[in-house]
Structure 1
Amino acid sequence: MITFFILVPLSQHNIYIQILVPFGFFFVIISAINTLNFSKKVIKFFFILAGLSLFTNLINIYDETYLSELLAVITNIFDCIFLILSIIAIYQKVHLETNVNNDVIRGGICIYIMLGILWYLFYKMIFFFDINAFHFPEFRKTSESINLLYFSFVTLTTVGYGDITPVNNFAMILSNLEGLCGQLFPAISIATLVSLYKK
C-alpha cells in the first residue's frame, strides 16, 4: 500500500508508471484477500471485481475521451465496491483475533490506508459530475487526481491544511464523514488492541 503513494505522483510523468499503478493496486489487494481464508466463491468474486477494475483502469490510460471519463467513473464504482468489501473482510478477520500480533496491526494499518483511498475515489466521482466541487490553489500545477488523493489523506488524518477546500454540498458532507472516520477508527482500533493485549 505504501508503494501506491510513491507511484501515484510519479505516474503523471511516465506512461509506464501509469500502467504500474493499477497493476500494483490489483496485486496488493488480491494478495491481502488471499490471506483471509475465504471460500473459493468469495475469492472468485473478488478476483472478478478486481479484474474489471484493472481492465477499465488500463483502458482509461490510453483513451482520454468523454467515454473514457465515463468509464473512469464506472472503474471508480468497481474500485469502491472492491475496497468496501476488502475493508469489511479485513476488519472481520482482525476483529476475530484473540491475541495482538503483527497481522492484527498490519490489518489495522491496511484498513486505515484503504479508507483514505476509498474517499479519494468518492471525491473523484464527485469531481466528474461537478468540476467546481473543490477549490484548488491557483499555484498548484499537479493533476486533479493527485490533488484529490492529497486532500483525502489530509482530511482522514485531520491535518486540515486548508489549501484545498470542498465547495459542493456532497463533497463537504463526505469530507466531514472522512474526518470522523479518521478520528474514530484509530481510537476504536487502539481500544480493541489494548483490550486484546490485556486478555
Structure 2
Amino acid sequence: MATMTSDGLSLTERRRAQTSNDIHLAAIALYEKQGVDATTVAEIASAAGVSSRTFFRYFENKEHAGIPGQFSLRNRVARFAPSDGSPSSVLRQIEGLFEEEILSGVERDEDSVRVARLFAAEPALLEEAAAQLQRVSKLLQVVLSEHCPSLQRSTSLMITDLAMTTWHTSWETLGQRYRAGEDITPIENYREHCALLREIVR
C-alpha cells in the first residue's frame, strides 16, 4: 500500500509534483534572466538538477515548462459537471469554474505574477498557452455535450469560445498591467474581463 502524505498524495505523486515544480521554477528563472529564445532545455534541466530525459517526462517543450498551470485547468474541466440550462447560465457556470481555478492558486500568487509578466514579454509563451488552451477548449466542448444536451452544437461551441477567449485574454492583459505598475490580483482582473464580456454581448 502506498504511503500517503498529509495532502492526500502518495510519496511518488509528491515527488513527481516537486520535480515538476522544480523544473518550472528553473525555467521561469532562466526566462527572466535571458529570455525564452536564448534558453535551452539542457540549461533548464541542469538548473533543476535533472536530466534532459527527465525534463521531457514532465513537459513537451521548454515553453510548456513555463506555464504548467494549464494541467490543473484541464483536470478541473475534466471533472466539471455543469447543469443543463440556458446558454447564459452555462457560461456563468464555466466562469465560476475558472474562478475556482484562479482562487485555488492563491498559494502560487507570486508564481502567477512572474508568469503573467513573462506573457507580456515573451510571445512564445503566449503561443504555447494558446495551443494548450485549444486542448482545454476541446475537452470543455465534450463536457458540455455530455451534460448540457439541450444546447445546440453551434451554441455550445460559441459558449466555449467566449469562455476560453475571456480566460486567455485576462491572463495576457494581466501581464501588461503588472508591467505598467498596476496593483491588481488575477481574480480581480478575470472578473473585470467577464464583466467586459457582458458589456460586449448584451
On whether the aligned pair clears a TM of 0.5, the verdict is: no
Q: Give TM-score scaled by structure 2 length.
A: 0.32
Higher relative CO (Cα under 8 Å, sequence separation at least 6) belongs to 2
Q: Give TM-score scaled by structure 1 length.
A: 0.32
